[in-house]
Amino acid sequence: MTKPSLRYLFAALLLAVTGSSDADLASMIEDCDGCHGTDGISQWTDMPTIAGASVFLLSDDMYFYRDRARPCATSDYRQGDTSRPATDMCAVAAKMTDAEIEAIAAYYAKLPFKPARQDFDGALADRGRAIHDQECENCHADSGRDPDEDAGILAGQWMTYMRAQFTDFIAGKRSQPRKMKVSLERLSADDVEALLHFYASLQ
């Protein structure tokens, strides 16, 4: 599907469910893309790509942020009008209604995910693959690539962003399924590093 038709579809959807105008829609997308990159594909290693994840995951994350149930890192805008004041995901989500969250999740879920081009260590990546297959593949299917899974896309996500998420999970600052917590608790710092290189290697 081409971009203009997607945008049209999203506009129609948003209008139907929220009464928000085309202009509201355009400015909301511009706001997200200002940090996450054009069409939700990030070029910055600390910023997650949001295109192509499932509607469930994207909307769920926004509700977590709105409830402040997930840490929010303050961030500058990366493109467009970069003089906009820095903000964070909790503040972004706080301004959105449920219908807007569902509509914007549907929009980014339909855009294609693009794995990040980034450096990795091959030996560490091999070790990471073995750990992933044993501990993580059950929920993060197809080496963490499967966008139908409601656990997000790990393969090809940026390493700096992922490292920060591991830190938050391990510190208990971000909620996670009980079984994932059990898996993460089994990992050493070296195991985590190996996993990061494995996910980065999937390009």
User: Quick check: 115 binds ligand HEC (CB under 6 A)?
Assistant: no
Q: Is the dihedral of CA 85, 62, 20, 110 positive or negative?
A: positive
Asked if residue 197 lies in contact with residue 121, where contact means CB atoms within 8 angstroms, the answer is yes
When computed from its CA atoms, the radius of gyration of the chain, rounded to whole angstroms, is 17
User: Which of 10, 20, 34, 54 touches ligand HEC by CB under 6 A?
Assistant: 34
Structure tokens at 58: 């994207």
Listed ranges 3-11, 12-20, 118-126, 154-162: which one lies at the site for ligand HEC (CB under 6 A): 154-162
Q: How far is Cα 89 from Cα 166, in angstroms, rounded to an integer?
A: 18
CA-wise closest residue to 121 among 49, 184, 188, 195:
195
User: Which of 15, 31, 110, 114 touches ligand HEC by CB under 6 A?
Assistant: 31
**Size of site (CB under 6 A) for ligand HEC:** 41
The binding site for ligand HEC (CB under 6 A) comprises 28, 31-32, 34-36, 47-48, 50, 58, 60-61, 72-73, 75, 77, 87-89, 92, 104, 135-136, 138-140, 150-152, 154, 157, 162, 165-166, 176-177, 179-180, 183-184, 195
